[in-house]
Amino acid sequence: MSNHDPVVDPTSRLSRRTLAMDASGIRRAFELGATLENPINLSIGQPDFPVPDAMKSAAIDAIQEDRNGYTVTQGIPALHESIRRHLAHDLGWSRDGDGYSTVVTSGTSGGLLLASLALLDEGDEAIMPDPWFVLYPQLGHLTGATMVACDTYPDFRMTAARVEPLISDRTKFVLVNSPGNPSGVVLTDDEMRDLAALCRDRGVQLVTDEIYDEFVFADSMRPDGTCPSPARFDHQALVIRGFGKTYGCTGWRLGYAAGPTWLVEQMRKLQQFTYVCAPSPLQWGVIEAFDIDNTAQVARYAERCQLVMEALSPHVDVVRPGGAFYAFFEVPPALGMTATEFMERAVERRVLLVPGGVFSGRDTHVRLSFAVDENVLREGLAILVDLLRGG
Ligand code: PMP
C-alpha cells in the first residue's frame, strides 16, 4: 500500500444491506470451537456418512467425460425427469408436470434466495418461524422486506393458529420448515392441511423448506412412509428441497424448487443472472439419488435421537425431534445462564453446541446435533448432563 492511499471508511462504502447482516453469534461459536484441541463437536449441521458410491461414480464420470460446462440455467433435463418422478411418488403431483415447474438450484439456500428475490419487494413482509434457520432473517436484509417471526415456543410447531394473526396486507409468503432446524420438530398432516388452507384463504404464497424431508423418524411419518408436507394440500405451494443433507453431499451445493410455473419461471430468470446454473457435473451425480435407500441411516439417527432424549429429558425441557438430526433444549432457568453462557461453559469442557440466540429472538435454548458417532455423542451427553446438574 502506498503512503498516498486514502484511509477508507468501509462502512461508508459498504451497502446498508450488508452492514445490517450480523454473523457475530455464529462466528463466536466457530472461533471458540477453533480453540479446542480435541473437541466433542455437537454443533455440526451435516450428516456424518459418506456420499453413496453410485453418486460419486456418476459425478466422476461426468467430469471425466467432459460434461463440465454450463448447463441450461434450470438444470439438465434428465435431473428434472428424476425430480418429477420423485414428486409424483412423494407428493402425488402430476408426473407430466401439468401446472408446475422445477428448477435445479445451487443448494437449498440458492432456492430460498431466488424465491425471496422473486416474491419480495421493499416494504413487503414474509412470515418465518422463530426459531429459524440462519438464512431466513437475512432474506429480509437481502430483499429490503421484513421477515416477521412467528413465535413457536415452547413446542416449535408453526401452526395456522400462530401464523394467522401475523398475516397483514403486506404479507407475500409464509415460510414453513419441517422437519425443522434447529428443533427437529415435524408438523402433522393435519397441521399442514390447516396451514395450506390458511394461505389459500388469505391469498399468500406458501413456501416450504423441506431440506430434511428424508430424515423423518417412524413416529412422525405418514402411514406410507413419506414426510408430511403442505404441498400435498396446496398444489400452488413452492417446495424447496436439497440433496446435501439427504446424501451427505452438502458441499455439492445442489437443491431444487418445484411450484407454480409463474413463480418458478421467474426463479429461473433470476438464476440465469446470478448463479447461472447449479454445479454441472454434480447435477449428473444426483440423477439416480432418489433411488438410493437411506432407511438404515435414518434408523441410526433415530437411535441417536433416543440416546439424546434418554440422557437429557430428565434434566431439561426438550421436545422430542421427529426428524432431522438436532435437538433444541432449554437451559434450565435455575442455572441462571443465557444459552450463550451455557455454550461457553460447555466449550470449557470441550463440548461444542450452538446457542439459541443464533436461531432466535431468544437466547434460552441450545442446539445439539446428533449427526456424530454414538461414542462421541455419549461422551458429550455425559458432560452436558453434569453441567445441567450444576457441575
Ligand atoms: N434450510 C435449512 C432448514 C437448513 O438447515 C439448511 C442447511 N443447514 C439449508 C436450508 C441450506 O441448505 P443448503 O446447504 O442445501 O444450501
Is CATH 3.30.450.40 correct for 11-50+294-388? no
Q: How confident is the model at residue 391 (pLDDT cuts 50, 70, 90)?
A: confident
Q: What would the pLDDT profile of 247-297 be if each residue is shown by its tens digit?
A: 999 999 999 999 999 999 999 999 999 999 999 999 999 999 999 999 999
Nearest by Cα to 207 from 242, 239, 233: 239
Q: How far apart are CA 244 and CA 240, in angstroms?
A: 13
User: What's the gap in Å between 9 CA and the centre of ligand 1?
Assistant: 34
Q: What three-state secondary structure class fits 28? A: helix
Q: Residue 340 Cα, ligand 1 centroid: separation in angstroms?
A: 23
Residue 255's DSSP bridge partners are: 105, 242
Please answer whether residues 226 and 195 qualify as being in contact, where contact means their C-beta atoms are separated by less than 8 angstroms: no
Least confident of 36-50, 68-82, 187-201, 241-255: 36-50
Ligand 1 centre from 26 Cα, in Å?
A: 15
Which one of 3.40.640.10, 3.40.50.2300, 1.10.1200.10, 3.40.50.1820 gives the CATH number of domain 55-291?
3.40.640.10
Q: Could you tell me the distance, in angstroms and rounded to a whole number, from the CA of residue 391 to the centre of ligand 1?
A: 35
Kindly tell me the burial class for residue 6, based on how many C-beta atoms sit within 10 Å of its own C-beta (0-12, 13-18, 19 or more).
exposed
**pLDDT value of position 249:** 96
Q: Where in the chain is the domain with CATH 3.90.1150.10?
A: 11-50+294-388
Ligand 1 mutation pick, 138, 211, 245, max ligand atoms within 8 A of CB: 211
Residue 96, pLDDT above cutoff 90: no
User: Identity (one letter) of the amino acid at 160?
Assistant: A
Tell whether the model's pLDDT for residue 3 goes beyond 80.
no
- C-alpha of 273 from chain center: 24
Q: Which residue has the higher pLDDT, 83 or 44?
A: 83
Ligand 1 pocket mutation pick from 104, 106, 135 by most atoms within 8 angstroms of CB: 135
CB 31 within 8 A of CB 237: no
**Which helix (H) or strand (E) is 89 found in, with range?**
helix 77-91
The bridge status of strand 205-209 relative to strand 171-177 is parallel
Give residue 271's pLDDT: 98
Res. 319: pLDDT tops 90: yes
Q: Is the pLDDT of residue 357 over 90?
A: yes
Q: Parallel, antiparallel, or unpaired: how do β-strands 255-260 and 100-105 relate?
A: antiparallel
Burial class (CB in 10 A: 0-12, 13-18, 19+), 116: buried
- Mean pLDDT of all residues belonging to the chain: 95
Task: Please give the full DSSP string across 116-173, using - where no structure is assigned.
Answer: HHHH--TT-EEEEEES--THHHHHHHHHT-EEEEEE-TTTT---HHHHGGG--TTEEE
CATH 3.40.640.10 spans which residues of the chain?
Answer: 55-291
Compute the average pLDDT of residues 32-57: 91
Q: Is pLDDT of 1 > 60?
A: no
Q: Which helix (H) or strand (E) holds 365?
A: strand 365-369
Picking from 30-44, 63-77, 260-274, 371-385, which range would have the lowest pLDDT averaged per residue?
30-44
- For residue 109, report the distance from its CA to the centre of ligand 1, in Å: 6
DSSP state, residue 206: E
Q: Is the pLDDT of residue 22 over 80?
A: yes
Which residues touch 94 (CB under 8 Å, ≥6 apart)? 88, 100
Best residue among 43, 105, 106, 109 to mutate for probing ligand 1's pocket (most ligand atoms within 8 Å of CB) is 109
Cell output for 286: 444426483
Which residue is it, cell 406410507? 224
Ligand 1, residue 324: give the atom nearest the CA: 5
Ligand 1 site, CB within 6 A: 45, 107-109, 133, 177, 181, 209, 211, 242, 244, 250, 255
- The residue with cell 429429558 is 313
Averaged pLDDT for residues 163-189: 98
| The residue to which cell 409464509 is assigned | 174
DSSP-derived 3-state class of residue 380: helix
Residue among 133, 210, 252 to mutate when testing ligand 1 (max atoms within 8 A of CB): 133
Distance CA 203, CA 338 (A): 39
Q: How far is the CA of 5 from the centre of ligand 1 (A)?
A: 41
Residue nearest atom 12 of ligand 1, based on CA coordinates: 108
pTM: 0.96
Taking CA atoms only, the protein residue closest to ligand 1 atom 7 is 45
Please state, in angstroms and rounded to a whole number, the distance separating the CA atoms of residues 294 and 234: 27
* Mutate-to-test residue for ligand 1 from 46, 103, 106, 108, highest number of ligand atoms within 8 A of CB: 108
Q: What is the mean pLDDT of residues 166-195?
A: 98
pLDDT for 182 equals 98
d(Cα 109, Cα 133) in Å, to the nearest integer?
Answer: 10
Q: Helix, strand, coil: what percent of the chain each, to 5?
A: 45, 15, 40
CA distances in angstroms from 351 to 43, 116, 358, 386, listed in the order given: 9, 36, 17, 12
Give the lowest-confidence range in 30-44, 68-82, 215-229, 347-361. Answer: 30-44
Ligand 1 centre distance from Cα of residue 271 (Å): 18
Distance 333 CA to ligand 1 centre (A): 30
pLDDT digits (tens, 9 = 90+) for 112-168: 999 999 999 999 999 999 999 999 999 999 999 999 999 999 999 999 999 999 999
Is 58's pLDDT higher than 80?
A: yes
Q: Closest ligand 1 atom to the C-alpha of 209?
A: 1
77 C-alpha to center of ligand 1: Å? 24
pLDDT tops 80 at residue 2: no
